[in-house]
Chains A and B, each alone.
Chain A
Amino acid sequence: MPRKTTKKLIDKKGVRVDGRKPNELRSIMIKAGVIENADGSAYIEQGRNKILVGVYGPREVHPRHLTQLDRALLRCRYHMAPFSVDERKSPAPSRREQELSKVITWAIEPSVFTDRFPRTSLDVFIEVLEANGGTRCAAITAASVALADAGIPMRDLVAACAAGKVGGQLVLDLMDVEDKMGDADLPVALLPSLNVITLLQMDGELSADEFEKALNLAINGCQQIHMIQREALKTRHIAVKQAVEE
């Protein structure tokens, strides 16, 4: 991959293409309880990313043979709408989507007490409606809110955010052009209260020293996002109260 245009991605004052500072998140809006039919749901906008998550379950496992006797089967399905990117994406799940479904499941499962409802399935459907970089992290962030909204017993929320290197500088929460043209991308998911990491991937190039700094930057981003998740769940609770009182 050529990464020739890196100079433009961040200027001398450290201002990025969309005007952000290196350690600044995109604007994030999370709303819990957006799909009537689902047992829990959430919507996130992070920059231009728009992602909808619906949780169904715990419910009986289909197909039956996937049933796990000692715990619930957590399945996350990451899927991109055909119109979510510039060039139409085939609706059939790509290899990238299948891998992301798997790593997202791994990122979320440590947060859920799956052993409390064995022999059931918990399905988390993630639909990316508009993608502009960092969708796996935004999806995890929203999925965790949706699970809490569904009343699923959980150890912690999961907040996710990427750090990376763009134009030679470490930055937080990369958008698409920064991811594609930048030097490295490091998505991280954090259980904020327990302070452990459940998703870690990287591509690009980082020295050991840069890696440590980028990891800490991403963790800090996750902690900020955790606050936004909490607000979304609080707002949801207040909204439910008001709706019934009327």
Chain B
Amino acid sequence: MTSTIIPLVKRKKIAETLPSGKRLDGRGLADYREIKLETGVIGSAEGSARIYLGKTEVLVGIKIDIGEPFSDTPNEGVLTVNAELAPIASPDFEPGPPSKEAIELARVVDRGIRESKAIAVEKLCAVPGEKVFIVFIDVYVLNHDGNLIDASAMAALAALLNTKMFKYVVKDGEIEKKPGYTQLPIRNQPIAVTIGKIDDNLIVDPELDEEHVIDARLTITTKKEENICAIQKGGVGYFTAEEILEAAKIASEKGRELRKLVVKA
């Protein structure tokens, strides 16, 4: 990706208001931008959701397919997360194979869902060792204004909660569709909270300009029981142990708020 050049004065501007507890756009350090969530927006997908996190816009579509299980988990369905940083979403995104940024995004979203055991994969097995359901989660970034991870993770969860599976019977080892739908079995609600660090200040939900000047970020995903299930540190800066523990606290508090919002959508 092109390295965006940020005017030094901008970094200074962004950093200097933080000690007073305010950000340039008027938010407090622990405030998210306005969140709007719509579900069931794509008719051809089994589940879908579109999120607006401030100006960041992400669409998640879920497709369910039949395939073979992994040999070490013959009785479980398969989860696959893919992310596209489509050129439409930013002048910095280029067409071509997934960039490292896109791969990281997909893997962080994947880790949250997988490690929280959000999907009851054992219920997605039709014929043990042979036929299971594959849940494809495709993250499509439509406008990039920072914090793609949290937006994508929330949209993915909203889409999963919205996903309907066709009913089926197994006859002679083959899957036969039946009329009607059931809900995809979801039993946990992972929420990713990304915290940026600028000098000694921690901010949640960095928007694009802030994202360009943060020293580092920490994404902490919590389950509905508020235990931590995934962490990813990004960026070339560092954190002290105290900052990490503080971030974990923020993540669990913000996670609680956001979870309510996503489950309601």
Q: A residues touching B (Cβ–Cβ < 8 Å)?
A: 1-2, 68, 95-96, 98-99, 101-103, 105-106, 109-110, 186, 191, 194-208, 211-212, 215-216, 219
Contacts and interface: CB of A to CB of B under 8 A. Distances in A.
A216 B73 CA distance: 33
A95 B227 contact: no
Contacts of A105: 236
Interface stretch (B57-65, B103-111, B135-143): B103-111
A206 B221 CA distance: 11
Given A201-B231, A205-B228, A109 B252 contact: no
Given A205-B227, A207-B227, A208-B252, A198 B233 contact: yes
Given A98-B100, A98-B103, A201-B232, A196 B244 contact: no
B73 A1 contact: yes
B238 A197 contact: yes
A86 to B, nearest CB: 11
B236 A106 contact: yes
Interface string B1-45: 001000000000000000000000000000000000000000000
B115 A198 contact: no
A194 B237 CA distance: 13
Interface residues of B, number: 37
Contact of A99 (B73, B103, B227): B103
A46 B232 CA distance: 24
A16 to B, nearest CB: 22
Given A191-B238, A207-B228, 13 more contacts: A2-B73, A103-B104, A110-B237, A194-B238, A197-B239, A199-B233, A205-B115, A205-B227, A206-B228, A211-B245, A211-B248, A215-B241, A215-B245
Interface string B220-243: 000100111111111111111100
5 contacts: A96-B107, A110-B237, A198-B216, A208-B248, A215-B244
Contacts of A199: 233
B218 A200 contact: yes
B241 A106 contact: no
A194 B100 CA distance: 29
Interface of B: 3, 73, 76, 98, 100, 103-104, 106-107, 111, 114-116, 216, 218, 223, 226-241, 244-245, 248-249, 252
A109 B236 contact: yes
Contacts, number: 99
Chain B interface main SS type? mixed
B227 A197 contact: no
Q: What 10 A-B pairs come out closest when comparing CB atoms?
A: A202-B231, A196-B238, A200-B233, A109-B236, A203-B115, A198-B238, A110-B238, A95-B103, A197-B239, A207-B227
A191 B114 CA distance: 30
B239 A200 contact: yes
Contacts of A202: 228-231
Contacts of A198: 216, 233, 237-238
Contacts of A215: 241, 244-245
Contact of A203 (B106, B223, B229, B245): B229
Q: Kindly name the residue among B106, B238, B241 whose own CB sees the greatest number of chain A CB atoms within 10 A.
A: B238
Contacts of B235: 106
Interface centre among B98, B104, B226, B236 (most CB of A within 10 A): B236
Nearest to B217: A106
A208 B228 contact: yes
B241 A219 contact: yes
Contacts of B245: 211-212, 215
